[in-house]
Structure 1
Amino acid sequence: MPEMEVTSKAGGAHALDDVIWNALTGKQHGFAVGSERALRFMSPVAPFTAMVDTSPASFDALRELIDEHGPVALATVQAVEPDASFSIVRQASLLQMVWQRDSVPSPALEYLNLDERDVPEMLALTATTQPGPFGPRTIELGDYLGIRKEGKLAAMAGERMKIDGYTEVSAVCVDPAFRGQGLAAGLMKRLIEAICARGETPFLHVLASNPGALAIYRAMGFVERRELHLMVLERAPR
């Protein structure tokens, strides 16, 4: 995106409290579109958005982003109330979890590094399993690993948002035909190992309504850091 003046957020809040804004104004600014008041990832990459504050001017900027680039996903520490010009497509409680172990065992796992040639299969797998937003260019955000079985992509996991010192583990999914074999956990361990080797801390987001995934992540060493309010917004009919 072109260089522009982006307002910094004041205060001593943890960088992960506003991870979307910090990613879009930091390491992943090249994927950002918007203004100094509201930013989002390019729509083929991800729907995530953030505002510099909750003023009417920032909501005006967010509305313009939606008009130009489509629906957005907003994750905030405090619940926000958009005005009637927005339609709320979905609301949910999102738990942010941070990995807190000293070491991770390297699994004996045959995996491959996925690239743009694998995107059609990755899109098909995420459409089936619904691990969260995944677009045709999401793969550009980081490393993605996969496992093939019986000639098809059976499992995948990768890196999404990145800020100084932290990398998000995302798009963790397994084809229903291959579940129960430890494939997702194995891929996650590989990613955790690589992230930690760079001196960074892995983190992830999971819906509070998904106790099965929560239990798996806790067993792997992820600890809940805080709850976020997830809201998917689009323009209200005019």
Structure 2
Amino acid sequence: MPETEAKRNANGMHRLDDVVRNALVSTHQRFALGDGPAIRYPADVAPFAAIADSGTDSFAALRTLIEPQRPVALVTTDELAPPPGFSVTRRAVVLQMIWQGTRDRHDELQHVRLTEADVAEMLALTAATEPGPFGPRTIELGSYFGVRSQAKLVAMAGERMRLDGFTEISAVCVDAAFRGRGHAAGLMRLLISTITARGETPFLHVFTSNRTAISLYRTLGFIDRREMHLTVLDRAQS
């Protein structure tokens, strides 16, 4: 699906160029902390935050939203250079991919819809596989599905950031002992079907170094949209 003017704001930016802010002022507005120059998700939901610009006021507002020992992650089109008072705990380049495929295959995947009762297992699986940040309340962001083997949760994937017209697929992970069985692809096809049935477009973020995942996503109909900069900031130690 080509990018149209309807997906751009008054400044000519695509909605996904400022994905965190656009999620927090639309579909995920109920999670938003702060307003104006800085905004973020609650730390136990997701670490993501956004600033209006790289000016002093925006960073000052952001600093007040960083809880002690709880850094924030910003996803931006340009690399950030924070002022004094912050420490950069991580920098990385991620590839933002958007789905433009066709739903021409139906998997008979034996899946389960995950609920809050499954959070402890979800936290354990994501801790072991490290697909990206996943907290105690991340499940509140959207639908999550999993695969069980002998009652054990061995694979999962779900919806994270959501904004008008778009839903992010995230937390795609499989226990090391159960890889190579098509669980990740099957869960993603399920999510693609769920999201597109609502008239929304799936998208995702993946580290540019993760060539295996990028290859899988391309086979599922995702195309490269653009590279984004991930910057994790904390308060500077005094």
| Bucket of the pairwise TM-score, normalised by the shorter protein | over 0.9
Aligned to 2:32: 32
Aligned to 2:19: 19
**SS at 2:95 equivalent:** strand
- TM-superposed CA distance for 1:34, in Å, is 1.3
The answer to whether the 8 A contact 2:69-2:234 is kept is: no
Q: How does 1:25-174 map to 2 (within 5 A)?
A: 25-67=25-67, 70-174=70-174
TM-score by length of 1: 0.94
CA distance in 2, matches of 1:111, 1:67: 37
CA distance in 1, matches of 2:161, 2:34: 17
- TM-superposed CA distance for 1:68, in Å, is 5.8
- TM-superposed CA distance for 1:35, in Å, is 2.4
CA distance in 1, matches of 2:109, 2:25: 36
The answer to whether the 8 A contact 1:104-1:189 is kept is: no
1:66-121 CA distance string (max 9 Å, x none): 14682000110011100121111000001100011132411011100000000000
1:1-30 CA distance string (max 9 Å, x none): xxxxxxxx7501100110100001111011
Amino acid at match of 2:113: N
**SS at 1:34 equivalent:** coil
**SS at 1:214 equivalent:** helix
Q: Decide whether aligned partners of structure 1 residues 104 and 201 sit closer, same or farther in structure 2, where only a CA change above 3 A counts.
A: farther
Comparing 67-76 with 191-200, greater Cα deviation is found at 67-76
CA distance in 1, matches of 2:160, 2:189: 16
CA distance in 1, matches of 2:214, 2:194: 22
**Within the alignment, does 1:209 sit opposite 2:213 as a pair?**
no
CA distance in 1, matches of 2:214, 2:63: 33
**SS at 1:33 equivalent:** coil
Aligned to 2:189: 189
Unaligned runs of 5+ residues in structure 1 are 1-8
- TM-superposed CA distance for 1:151, in Å, is 2.2
CA distance in 1, matches of 2:212, 2:23: 28
The answer to whether the 8 A contact 1:111-1:145 is kept is: yes
**Within the alignment, does 1:218 sit opposite 2:204 as a pair?**
no
Aligned length: 230
Unaligned runs of 5+ residues in structure 2 are 1-8
**SS at 1:105 equivalent:** coil
Write out the 4+ residue segments of structure 1 that deviate beyond 4 Å after TM superposition.
Answer: none
1:21-50 CA distance string (max 9 Å, x none): 000111101111112110010111000000
CA distance in 2, matches of 1:141, 1:80: 26
